[in-house]
Chain A
């Protein structure tokens, strides 16, 4: 797996576990189905992340926001875009931890993932072999403007227009 964010590749600090009995070391990334058990067992001394499928609702996740350091939304394929909307909802409802997109996305989708509120993307090695980190970083800024106000980016086109108008008015005075 390749893990990367806006700045480039980064090291995985979470250990994936499949059952509450496993402990691993450090931070834990577990399936969302195990959330209650994991919190009961490790909630006091570990950073906890959950892997959620893209048909889990924001309503189901919201009660756990304060106790989660990471939510990893699984993309079963690059063409299934449900995770993008789920990310928007998770961020809008106030999740303050790390939001990760996990699955076979491709580099052209990196700016979309970032704009929808994901902080990082985790892709399978086979995909990373074809599309190394440099391609992802190049893709992130290939289109530098957006009509929508998006996450993590600067001014959108509407802001730029408003500013241009104000500058114009200031000059007219």
Chain B
């Protein structure tokens, strides 16, 4: 396989639910809508296991557009994406704090 640039650890895996469309995170088992419950991979073999889980779920038409997101962990151990785009995606629109996961989970 061609050399692909692998992300910096740790990472979490995000995707969209096919039928609902909202952002989901790979959890220890299955998927979660709450990023605080996202499974955090600290090494590449774990990251690859997440990717292979997501590939299966894609084939089963449960999710679409899965990819790994580089994160750091805050004091509570919750993931915080390194890139601002992924922070917005995890939270919701910054002009509408009543919408998105920031509202659903009262961050």
* A–B proximity contact (CB within 8 A): no
